[in-house]
Structure 1
Amino acid sequence: MSLHVPITPEARAALRRQRRTSKAVSFVVAVIGTTVVACVMGLLLIPGQTSCGYYPVPYCPLPEVTCSLPAPKPTLIDRPPRAPSNRPVPLIARALPTPLSIPVVFTPAMESDEFGTGDDFHEGMGNDDQMGQGITIPYVSRKRCSKADRLQLLEEGGAAAEVDESVIQALRYLKSTQARDGSWGSKHKTAMTGLALLAYLGHCETALSEEFGDSCLRAITYLVDIGMKHDGRLVSDTTARHWPYEQAIGTYALAEAETFHRALAIDIPMLRDTVASAGQFIIDHQHPTGGWDYHYDRSSSRGGDLSITGWHLQALKACKHSGIDFRNLRNCVTRAIDYVELRQAPDGGFGYTGTQPADGTSAASLTGVGMLSLQIWGQHAKPTVKKGADYASDHLEFKWESQQCDLYAHYYLSQAMFRHGGTEWSTYQASVLKDLPLHQNADGSWPVPGGGQKPAAVGALFADDSEEGKLYRTTLATLMLEVYYRYLPSMR
């Protein structure tokens, strides 16, 4: 016998609600259970998975490629820099989450290579809004990081593509002659190491470079270690008369290295702090005339000279690119620019301590120093620069196998004439730079210039028949050839 009880409409509705609730609870329980199982399995499998995180990357400059991956996090080297001595330099374990050597963050193609606005530092100074707000490399410097761009700039500048290969051979020579502690040179180790590092950076070689990365890192480590030990002074012996040269060149190199490596999200311990202290030391020890003098003597009656001042203005420009906040930089640069302009003679040449050439030279060999010092701080349109270019075209020839082989003068002049552009640059590069690779040794270095004659130059260390002399002229020649792509011209 069966018992049938009629179901009321209210009972049916209650039953439906119960079923829906039961199904919902079952679904939630199933989702939670599945999630727990997935999490457990994920934890077990994570070590073997490949993610889009940070991993070692080879140097592969492809700035044309864009990437939508997350912004890179700083990579820390696992120890404070110190002279490597007999210990190997640690490898950089992590880098960018892309196969790029430089983050692809482009600013407008017409971006200036100067800083500030029209009322910043000095009347007419240029503009660069990007630096100091991020970690991008200035547009004018990024162009050196792509081989395609380098070759294009060589062609536009009137040079053959083989110039880039000449530069690479020179960098290989530098790599082969680097000391175990990361330095170069003997009597002037900071200056020589700084020049070698600048030559690497001029070709966009950094600590991530496949061929030259280790050499770059060791050079930076050497210079940072000195700065750490001596409170921003980049030499061990501050009694040496010429040590301001070393301070300026070392600061220049480290500041440029900081800009590039910061853009690569590589945090080299104490590099930024060393640049800050070394650059501030330069600012604080400017002579009241606006120049810089031997021993950093601020009370000297000589008042400095244009040769020393030129290196310091280059160093401060690199410091400015780093985005570090320096005390009194604005006033320092303004006074230095005034100092440089006062060194120009009526004929357009730039003098040494006054308006006359240095002793032992008949022509104003520092004209390129004066021109470049003004150009890099936004003064390229001033009549002083045009007068300097006219003077250089008429009086400062360069021939490797003659007395007119002043590599120091033409290190500056090659940059100044390139920035100036026009017929002066076309004539200059055709008569000077095209001939330079022809004299390069098979090992990438350059031989003693002059053709057996004494160069018409002051303090011509580049002509010394010594290892340091060989290194010095090789770095100067390399930096001259890199002028086609180290920076864009201020005007063309």
Structure 2
Amino acid sequence: MLGWLSDSESSSWLASGVAHLAVVVLLSLLVITQQGKGPDWTLEGTATSELPQELDIELNPMPSVGDELDSESMAPKAMGLPDLELGTPSVDITQPMLTPTATASVDAFATEMLDIGNPLASAGGGLEGRNLDNRRSLALAGGGSESSEAAVEAGLKWLAAHQLEDGSWTFHLDAEHCPQCAGKCRNPGRIDSSTGATGLALLCFLGGGYTQHEGPYQEVVSKGLYFLINKMLLTSEGGDLRDSQEISLPFARQASVRLRGDMYSHAIASLALCENYAMTRDSNIAGPAQKAIDFIVNAQNELGGWRYEPRQPGDLSVTGWQLMALKSGVLGRLDIPRHVWYRAAEFLDSVQAEKGATYGYQQPSSTRPSMTAVGLYSRMMIGWPEEHPPLLKGAVLLAKEHPKDSNMYFNYYTSQVLHHVGGAGWRRWNPRMRNYLVQTQAEEGHEDGSWYFDEPWSDRGGRLYTTTLAILTLEVYYRYMPMYQSEFVNQAP
């Protein structure tokens, strides 16, 4: 073809054409990769190196995630939620359970995990107990009482009365932040995290079986979910549920600055979304729940833990909340890479003592009961079998403790561990914990139905924090079905 060109001319023309084309492609790539670049802007707070054993959603340094700032196409966006219809849940969106995306190194490590258990195969700890028809039977059969159930309902009523107009809750209960309360309740908190407070409150309603589709609190739950989803910022690493605010800067088209909240806030809010999706299979919740899980996956440190900021070297307290969210993601059949569990097990190994019977915050310890409770519960979620000796030894150690009037964080986690293990330790612990909470619930004025305990960290979360932990503890009988015990519904009186 084209006989007017000689062979040599054809070769020269072809070579020249290829060379010019390569230059054009290279220049195009350079132009494309430079679009949207700009300074990352964050508002930093202060971080403390003295870290507690319990929920601590404090103001911390706030680095941006990814390269999403200063670009209309890449900037984080609030993830809107279609109007949640109260009534019949939407059809389930089928998604894979867990994707086997382990790398070669993870595959090699997996052979060393065989004696630890398989989180993917764990059938225990499900949500089927949150059924309004059999909740009472499960409570009475598992160690609850009519009084403890009445306390749960009174607590939920208090929470509903303190929900803000936008669907959120706040740790602050003063007139400025919570007009519904306006300071009528004593002991307000000082943590600035609307997503953390909203997540904790929603977990209480979900734990009692109340969703946007069922029960007397449908509107309360619907508004809370709507708030969380619209608060979510979509980033290149998933949906960020830490409190954020978009601001305008004179030298940048768009920027998002995170003002408060940390990975505690994200995990608690994510747990609420994932539990709700697992319970309802509402298609409105599926996408946001998956995005929240994606952010947790990408925030994991290479050594397996989580802390205040993404990819920081982990601490056990923050890690425990992330694992609860991931476990709920499993129950909702969301997509979670397998290697996340293996890395988490490696982190737990790094903070364990006595071969896994006790745990420390960032280092091994046998003198921190709260961290032992978090560590053992985390091991259960990852897949330790019932007969694993360190689990049994650790449960025995926890059962020797008394419920603490100055540490609801310890009480909550210990109740979870002993409930799942069962046996004499649970029978000894449960009536003490149950009766203590029933007897200490407020019964007068605007505080009616709430709790407050004077403990070292309660001034941070205040009455909302201690109330939610008390409710979640009293819901232990049905909130998660026992991981190791056989069903006991027929034992109910």
Amino acid at match of 1:448: Y
Is the Cα–Cα contact under 8 Å of residues 193 and 261 in structure 2 kept in the other structure? no
Are residue 383 (structure 1) and residue 397 (structure 2) matched? no
Is the Cα–Cα contact under 8 Å of residues 241 and 294 in structure 1 kept in the other structure? no
In our comparison, the structure showing a higher alpha carbon Rg is 1
Is the Cα–Cα contact under 8 Å of residues 239 and 295 in structure 1 kept in the other structure? no
2:267 maps to which residue?
248
| CA pair 154-261 structure 1, distance change in 2 beyond 3 A | closer
SS at match of 2:227: helix
2:298 maps to which residue?
284
| CA pair 139-369 structure 1, distance change in 2 beyond 3 A | closer
2:347 maps to which residue?
339
1:157 maps to which residue?
142
Q: CA deviation at 1:430?
A: 1.9
Mapping of 1:179-258 within 5 angstroms?
179-186=164-171, 187-228=192-233, 232-237=239-244, 243-258=262-277
Could you tell me the percent identity over the aligned residues? 29
Q: Distance in 1 between matches of 2:225 and 2:308?
A: 25
Mapping of 1:42-57 within 5 angstroms?
none
Are residue 411 (structure 1) and residue 412 (structure 2) matched? yes
Q: CA deviation at 1:92?
A: 2.3
1:350 maps to which residue?
359
Mapping of 1:64-75 within 5 angstroms?
none
Amino acid at match of 1:180: E
Q: Distance in 2 between matches of 1:363 and 1:228?
A: 36
Q: Which runs of 5+ in 1 are unaligned?
A: 1-79, 84-88, 104-113, 131-137
Moved beyond 4 Å, runs of 4+? 80-83, 114-117, 119-122, 126-130, 228-231, 238-242
Q: Deviations over 1:5-54 (max 9, x none)?
A: xxxxxxxxxxxxxxxxxxxxxxxxxxxxxxxxxxxxxxxxxxxxxxxxxx
Is the Cα–Cα contact under 8 Å of residues 341 and 370 in structure 1 kept in the other structure? no
Q: CA deviation at 1:434?
A: 2.4
Q: Distance in 1 between matches of 2:86 and 2:118?
A: 41
Is the Cα–Cα contact under 8 Å of residues 171 and 444 in structure 1 kept in the other structure? no
Q: Distance in 2 between matches of 1:391 and 1:338?
A: 23
Q: Given the alignment, which residue of 380, 392, 397 partners 2:398?
A: 392
Figure out how many residues of one structure are paired with residues of the other and give that number. Answer: 354
Is the Cα–Cα contact under 8 Å of residues 240 and 295 in structure 1 kept in the other structure? no
Q: Which runs of 5+ in 2 are unaligned?
A: 1-77, 101-109, 172-191, 245-256, 486-493
2:132 maps to which residue?
146
1:372 maps to which residue?
377
Q: Deviations over 1:402-432 (max 9, x none)?
A: xxx2111221111111001111111111222
Q: CA deviation at 1:397?
A: 2.3
| CA pair 385-249 structure 1, distance change in 2 beyond 3 A | same
Q: CA deviation at 1:180?
A: 0.8
Q: CA deviation at 1:95?
A: 2.0
When normalised by structure 2's length, the TM-score is 0.65
SS at match of 1:288: coil
Q: Distance in 2 between matches of 1:129 and 1:158?
A: 24
Is the Cα–Cα contact under 8 Å of residues 255 and 275 in structure 1 kept in the other structure? yes
Q: Given the alignment, which residue of 278, 285, 308 partners 2:318?
A: 308
| CA pair 210-419 structure 1, distance change in 2 beyond 3 A | closer
Q: Distance in 1 between matches of 2:259 and 2:397?
A: 34
Q: Distance in 2 between matches of 1:421 and 1:429?
A: 10
| CA pair 429-121 structure 1, distance change in 2 beyond 3 A | farther
Q: Deviations over 1:50-77 (max 9, x none)?
A: xxxxxxxxxxxxxxxxxxxxxxxxxxxx
1:425 maps to which residue?
426
Q: CA deviation at 1:240?
A: 6.3
When normalised by structure 1's length, the TM-score is 0.65
| CA pair 312-384 structure 1, distance change in 2 beyond 3 A | same
Q: Distance in 2 between matches of 1:305 and 1:355?
A: 11
Are residue 448 (structure 1) and residue 456 (structure 2) matched? no
| CA pair 415-120 structure 1, distance change in 2 beyond 3 A | farther
Amino acid at match of 1:436: L
Q: CA deviation at 1:374?
A: 1.0
Is the Cα–Cα contact under 8 Å of residues 310 and 369 in structure 1 kept in the other structure? yes
